[in-house]
Structure 1
């Protein structure tokens, strides 16, 4: 960024999610800018990251680097489980998570619960590269509802539950509570796996600690794994993990065999990355309750 750009940020999308840190993405074009009942949605064009979706000024996903987040939050639990047939996605209105989950031919049914129909509709129009036809897959059931209310009331059970939430502010705040995690666990099959996005620990440590405290009380095997997504600035993102099964004991040869059998194309995920992502640096370990 030039000296002139630092003085004048017009033409830049500035994210101020954190008190002491901000990031800016150049806007080549603003493709969409609208206020819904829940939040302000914008899609901008950036030379490096392509189309970028922001909600209330905070980057949610980009064409350029979304594959890292979506692959790691979907393939890690599905391949670790080994026989996942039914998957629940809370959030994920852009369709990227459904895209990755539905790559698995072994997955028979996906329920996606999104609170804001506006996110789905404009993502189909302005971010079609994220969903890549996932919304048309007959295995996908889209439910427009509050995710917390859904897990509290549903009688369905799932092998994998993916919490693809926004940050814990506004409509997404309820998805980071102990009661929500407890209701989500109730919706799991006996060896089911719950995974969550828990922000960037270096800047959002309390968020991870609070979730891990709830997971410790709920699950026999709990913790987090890491993935580095460039536009989620501040270091690697923590992805929460909770299960009463033995999925984390899988070996590299077993995981390699499952990955080959799944016959899916990935840009970030590999069996080696899968196992290594559970190795935590000291500052993240110290956030564990």
Structure 2
């Protein structure tokens, strides 16, 4: 019996492969080619246009770090907006915080939301049906350019800046995000693997610097996103959140704890300590 393998080829010199136990779903909805399969090591794996988006095995790392780090750093997040994130994992983590009053999910492809609700329910874990959730099927670029809402937190849960996801890495989009933030508000996003995608860190810093008082990065180790530490982008109108003390973060977590498998207050602070090769990608002081 020939064993089936899924190969993800993001780079000309490196690929990764997953043994496929069984393929569960395959379709092209006109916007994206969607494939879902099971693998022994990572559980269910969702791919869009041949690129892995989420695995049930390690998604908790990525979602916890993009949600809890800015929420505990800010200290009083009440409104949040997730751009992308149709799998519902980011909503799930954000809505663990009882202080959240409203979470808006802006997803361009309604089929992704319905697909993940049906085939990967553990990822959203009921978040789509939480009364605090508002689902908006729209282009994230256009939504940010047109909305008059203000958010304490904006999470850009997008693909890499290749193809349709590229518009969510432009200076124009970041400028609109800055306009939609409250004074202490924070924008975070996935920013690639710096060892292999160093230009993404440099470009993001340059495009955000004119519009935010504080622009930086933090990291997480997500096995699916190969090539070393993953960079998570950070931008805010305030210098305060990123520089909150370890004691403050620990006190906030103790006062309003959430169930996590990766995030801790110590990991929170340590994640902002960037390796030298990442520091060298940042043009500013």
Q: Specify the SS of the correspondent of 1:218.
A: coil
Q: 2:276 aligns with which of 261, 282, 285?
A: 282
User: Residue 267 of structure 1 corresponds to which residue in structure 2?
Assistant: 261
Output aligned runs, 1:91-110, within 5 Å: 91-110=84-103
- Using the alignment, how far apart are the partners of 1:166 and 1:126 within structure 2? 20
User: Residue 256 of structure 1 corresponds to which residue in structure 2?
Assistant: 250
Output aligned runs, 1:28-67, within 5 Å: 28-67=21-60
Q: 2:187 aligns with which of 186, 194, 203?
A: 194
- Using the alignment, how far apart are the partners of 1:262 and 1:57 within structure 2? 39
TM-score, length basis structure 2: 0.97
Aligned residue-pair number: 282
- Using the alignment, how far apart are the partners of 2:76 and 2:105 within structure 1? 19
User: Residue 79 of structure 1 corresponds to which residue in structure 2?
Assistant: 72
- Using the alignment, how far apart are the partners of 2:224 and 2:106 within structure 1? 25
The answer to whether the aligner puts 1:117 opposite 2:110 as a matched pair is yes
- 1:215–1:223 CA contact under 8 A, matched in 2: no
- Using the alignment, how far apart are the partners of 2:26 and 2:254 within structure 1? 42
Q: Specify the SS of the correspondent of 1:76.
A: helix
TM-score, length basis structure 1: 0.96
Query: What are the superposed Cα offsets for residues 225-273 of structure 1, whole Å, 9 maximum, x if unpaired?
Result: 0001000000111000011211012111111111112221000000000
Q: Specify the SS of the correspondent of 2:161.
A: coil
- Using the alignment, how far apart are the partners of 2:163 and 2:39 within structure 1? 26
Q: 1:151 aligns with which of 110, 121, 144?
A: 144
Output aligned runs, 1:157-168, within 5 Å: 157-168=150-161
Which stretches in structure 1 are left out of the alignment for 5+ residues?
A: none
The answer to whether the aligner puts 1:247 opposite 2:237 as a matched pair is no
Query: What are the superposed Cα offsets for residues 1-40 of structure 1, whole Å, 9 maximum, x if unpaired?
Result: xxxx9xx8x6111001122211011110101111122111
Query: Please, what is the CA RMSD of the aligned residues?
Result: 1.2
Which stretches in structure 2 are left out of the alignment for 5+ residues?
A: none
User: Residue 124 of structure 2 corresponds to which residue in structure 1?
Assistant: 131
